Amino acid sequence: MTTTDTTTETITWEQTESGVVVLTFDDPTQSVNTMTAAWSASLSAALDRLATLGSDLTGVILTSAKKTFFAGGDLGDLLATTPERAGELTVFADSAKAMLRRLETLGVPVVAALGGSALGGGYEIALACHHRIAVDSPALRIGLPEVTLGLLPGGGGVVRTVRLLGLDAALDKVLLPGTAYRVQDALELGLIDRIVPDADSLIVAATEWISANPGATQPWDRGEPIPGGTAYTPEIEAVLPLRSAVLRTRHKGAPMPAPANILAAAVESTQVDFDTASAVETRYFVELATGPISKNIIQSTFFDKQSIKSGASRPEGFPVHRANFAAVLGAGMMGAGVALSCALVGMRVALKDIDTAAAERGKDYARKVLGKQVEAGKRTREDADAILDLITPTASVADLAGADLVIEAVFEDPDLKRTVFAEVLDVVAPDAVLASNTSTLPITDLARDLPRAEDFIGLHFFSPVDRMELIEIIVGDKTSDATLAKAFDIALQMRKTPIVVGDGRGFFTSRVILQRLVEAAAMIGEGVDPQSIEQASLQAGYPVGTLALLDELTLSLPLKIRSQFREVAQQQGTELADHPGDAVLTAMVEELGRPSRVAGGGFYEYPDGRRGALWPGLGERFPVSGERADLADLRDRLLFAEVLETVRCHEDGILRSTADANVGSLLGIGFPTWTGGTSQFVAGYPGGTRAFVHRAQELADKYGPRFTPPASLLEG
C-alpha cells in the first residue's frame, strides 16, 4: 500500500508504508527514457525531496514504466554537440554523475528493478544502485555498448565497472567489446545480482532486499580495494603495454579512438579517488562525443538504420505482409543460405535444384550450421530439428505449389534465370513475390519476358546469408509499389536490414565495391608494393586487405562486370573509360592463371586451401618501383574510389537516400565503420564538402580522371 503518489515531469514517485520510495522513469514525450534536460531536472527534484525525508525513508527502488529500463544518453543531443560546446557537455555529464553519486550515498539501500533492458546510460544508472534485480526475459539485455558508437560510458560506467569487477574483467568483458549480455550471463559476470521470474516480482524482491540490508553501501565507499589491484599492481602494470599494442593491432591503424580512450580512462581511474576518476572519465568522454568519428558512427548505425527499419523507403498504404511458404530455386551456397534464413523465421521452404541429390546438399548446409549451434549450446536439438523440418529438398516443380515467395538463386546467367522462373509461374501462388538474388543483372531485363513483371523484384542477399544482415532490394521499371512493400516486409520478417535501390547494372553495392577492387589492381600495375596496398586497406579501416578480397571474390568478377558496363555504354552510344586496373586483372587471370582462392592462387598463395603469403611471382610480372608508396594516398584512393561512385549512384537515381548508402556500404561491402558510410564520409569530411572536393581533385591530378568530383558535388 502506498502513502503518496506524485509525479514530476519524467519520474513518478510512490512511497510505501514501510518507507520505501519507488521512483519510476516514465518520460511522457518519448517511447524510451533518455538523459534529457527534463530527466535531469526531474531526478534532481526527486533527490532533493528524498533528502528531506530523514528517518521516514528506508530505501529507494528505481524502475521504469517503459518496455526498456532506460535507454541512456540522447543521441540526437550528442550528434548536435560541437567541439565549441564541449564545456556545456562537460557540465551536463558532471551534473548527471553528481546526481547518481547523491543517489548511491543517500544513506539508505537503493535497488535497480529492471523490467527491461538496461544498456549504456541506463545501466550506468543501475550501477549507481547497491543492488540490481532483473526479470528473467530472453529479450532483456544488460551492458555498456558505447564503444560500438565510438564513445565510452560517460555516466560513471568506466569508473564503477572497474571498481566492481576489476580492471581486467571490466575492460575485457564489458567496456572494450561493448557486449549486450543476456540476463543469465549478466548474473554470472556480476553485472546484476538477482533474477526474478516476472515483472510482478520485481518490487517485492527489491523491497525484501532493502529490508534485509538497511546499511547497504557501495564497495568503493566501504574502502574495499579494486578487485585484482590497480594500475600500480605489478601484475597489472606489466601487461599494460601489451594491452596498448593489442588495441593498435586490432584496429590496424584505422582511426578508432574510443577503445584507446576507454583503456586510458579505466587505467587512470584506478590511480585516483572516485570523484577524480569520474572527472577523468568525463574528459575522455567529451573528447569522443565532440569529435567527428562518433558522430559518423551514430548517424549511420543508429539514425540511418532506424530510418530504414521504420520504413522510410517502404511505399505507404499497403498492409503489413508476411510470407509463409518460400520456393528457393537453386541449392548452391546462396540458395542454401537463403533457405536456412527463411526457415529460421518459421517459413516453410521448398529448396529446388536440378536433382534431389543437389537439393539435399543444399539442406546439408542448414544441418551443419544448426548442428554447430546445438554443440555450442545456443540452440536445443529439438529446436534445430524443427527448423530443418521446414526445409524440403526437391527436384519437382509440383512441390512448389502455393508458394507465396519465390527466390531465385541460380548462376548469373540471364537466360537460366528466366527459364527457372518460367517453369514455376503456373504453380506458385498467383500473387507470389518473384525475387531474383542477382548481384549485378538488371531486374528489368530479367523480367522482360515474364507475364508478371509487376511482381518481379530483386532481393540481393550477401554471403553467408544466415549471418549477413543486409538485403539490397532492387526495383525494376515495372515492379509495383505493392510488391516493393511486400519485399520490404519480408526482409524485416527475415530479420534483415533492407535498403531500396533503383535498377541498373551492379545496382549499388556491387557497383561501388568494384571501384575499390580495380583501384587496388591499378596500384599493382603502378609498381606499388602489394604489402603496402594491404597495409593501406587495413589502415583505412577495411576488414581485410583489398587484394585478399579480390582473391575471395575471384579476379574475373570485376572483369566480367566491367565488360557488362562496357556493353551498356556502347548500347547508349558512349564509351566506358579504360581503368588501369583492368590490364592487371586480365594478366592475372588469362596470362598467369591465378584467378582466385578457389582456383588455388590469386594475389596470394593458398597452401592447403588457406591464405598464405603474397605470391612471390607478382614482383616478377609487376616489378615494385623504387619509390616509396604514400600510404595516405593509397588509403584515400581506396576510400574515394567507393565514395565518388556512391555520389554517381545518387546522381543516376540508383540510390534513393543517404541512409541507404551509409547502411548499405557498412553492412554490405565492409566500408570502414569509422566513416559512417560512403555518403557520411562526404558529410563528415574534415572541412566539409569543399575540402572533400579539393582532395578528390588532388587525386585526379595525380592518378587520373576517375577521381574527378561529380557535378553534384561541385554544384553543392
**If you compute the radius of gyration of the chain from its CA atoms, what whole number of angstroms results?**
28
Residue range 511-533: mean pLDDT, rounded: 96
pLDDT at 439: 86
| DSSP assignment string, 27-40 | -TTSSS-EE-HHHH
In a domain, 307, yes or no: no
85: in domain: yes
User: Measured on CA atoms in the order 601, 602, 606, 612, is the torsion positive or negative?
Assistant: positive
pLDDT of 353 above 90: yes
DSSP 375: H
451 and 534 both lie in a single domain: no
Mean pLDDT calculated for residue range 338-364: 97
| Residue burial 395-409, b: 16+ Cβ < 10 Å; e: rest | eebebbeebbbbbbb
30 pLDDT above the threshold of 60:
yes
Domain co-membership, 283 together with 427: no
Q: Does some domain include residue 124? A: yes
Residues 64 and 197 occupy one common structural domain: yes
Question: Which pLDDT does position 635 carry in this prediction?
Answer: 98
Q: Residues 220, 289, 74, CA angle at the centre, nearest 5°? A: 85
- Taking residues 620-631, report their average pLDDT: 91
Whole-model pTM: value is 0.92
Phi/psi-derived region of residue 607, left when phi > 0, alpha when psi is between -120 and 50, beta in every other case: beta
Strands 470-475 and 34-35 come out as unpaired
Which of 289, 315, 334 marks a domain boundary? 289
- Classify residue 404: in a domain, yes or no: yes
Does the structure show a pLDDT above 60 at 1? Answer: no
Q: Which domain holds residue 21?
A: 2-289
Residues 490 and 610 in one domain: no
H or E segment and range at residue 365: helix 356-375
pLDDT at 7: 59
Query: pLDDT tens for residues 263-283?
Result: 999 999 999 999 999 999 999
pLDDT in tens, 691-708: 999 999 999 999 999 999
Mean pLDDT, the chain, rounded, equals: 94
Residue 455 Cα distances to 81, 350, 437, 458, 655, angstroms = 46, 20, 15, 10, 21
Residues 59, 104: one domain?
yes
pLDDT band for 105, please (50, 70, 90 cuts). Answer: very high
591 inside domain: yes
| Cell 530479420, located at residue | 495
| Lookup: cell for 380 | 536445443
What residues are annotated to the active site? 460
For residue 412, pLDDT over 90 is answered with no
**Around 475, how many Cα atoms within 13 Å sit in the side-chain half-sphere?**
22
Omega into 442 within 30° of 0, i.e. cis?
A: no
Supply the pLDDT for residue 512.
Answer: 96
**Residue 452, number of CB atoms within 10 A of its CB:** 17
Whether 2 has a pLDDT exceeding 60, the answer reads no
Q: What CA–CA distance (Å, rounded) separates 597 from 582? A: 19
Taking the C-alpha atoms of residue 152 and residue 282, their distance in angstroms, rounded to an integer, is 9
The answer to whether residue 679 sits within a structural domain is: no
The residue from 478, 502, 526 where one domain ends is: 502
Same domain, 232 and 275: yes
Say whether pLDDT at 394 is over 80.
yes
Task: Report the CATH number at residue 644.
Answer: 1.10.1040.50
What's the pLDDT at 8?
Answer: 65
CA distances from 310 to 21, 71, 317, 508 (A): 37, 18, 14, 21
State which of 236, 263, 289 marks the end of a domain: 289
The neighbour count for residue 21, using CB atoms within 10 Å, is: 24
Residues 517 and 649 in one domain: yes
- Does residue 667 fall inside a structural domain? no
Residues 414 and 494 in one domain: yes
> Are both 571 and 440 inside the same structural domain?
no
Q: What is the pLDDT of residue 578?
A: 85
Asked if 151 contacts 160 with a C-beta cutoff of 8 angstroms, the reply is no
Supply the CATH number for residue 454's domain.
3.40.50.720
* Rounded CA separation 10/43 (Å): 8
In this structure, the answer to whether residues 618 and 482 fall within a common structural domain is: no
Q: Can you tell me the mean pLDDT for 144-154?
A: 96
Q: What is the 3-state secondary structure (H, E, C) of 558-575?
A: HHHHHHHHHHHHHHCCCC
d(CA 712, CA 88): 36
Contacts of 4 (CB under 8 A, 6+ apart): 13, 14, 15
Task: Place 565 in a pLDDT band, splitting at 50, 70 and 90.
Answer: confident
- Number of domains forming the structure of the chain: 3
pLDDT for the residue numbered 523: 97
DSSP string, 600-669: TBSSBB-GGGS--SBPTHHHHHSPPPSSPP-HHHHHHHHHHHHHHHHHHHHHHTSB--HHHHHHHHHHHS
- Greater model confidence, 256 or 8: 256
Indicate whether 467 belongs to any domain: yes
For residue 147, give the DSSP letter.
G
Specify the higher pLDDT residue, 316 or 4. 316
Length of the chain: 716
In DSSP terms, which residues pair with 438 in a beta bridge? Answer: none
How many angstroms separate the CA atoms of 73 and 664, rounded? Answer: 26
Closest CA to 629 of 714, 550, 703, 716: 703
- Starting at the edge strand that comes first in sequence, how are the strands of the sheet with 11-16 ordered? 2-7, 11-16, 20-25, 59-64, 110-114, 131-135, 194-196
Give the position of cell 601484475: 235
Q: What is the CATH number of the domain that holds 194?
A: 3.90.226.10
Q: How far apart are CA 105 and CA 63, in angstroms?
A: 19
| DSSP run (H or E) holding 538 | helix 530-540
Q: Taking 50 as the threshold, does the pLDDT of residue 456 lie above it? A: yes
Which pLDDT score, from 0 to 100, does residue 563 have?
A: 85
Are residues 554 and 576 part of one domain? yes
Closest-CA residue to 518 (of 665, 706, 655): 706
Q: Are 272 and 150 found together in one domain?
A: yes
Residue 379 vs residues 375, 387, 464: alpha-carbon distances, Å = 8, 11, 19
pLDDT of 638 > 60? The answer is yes
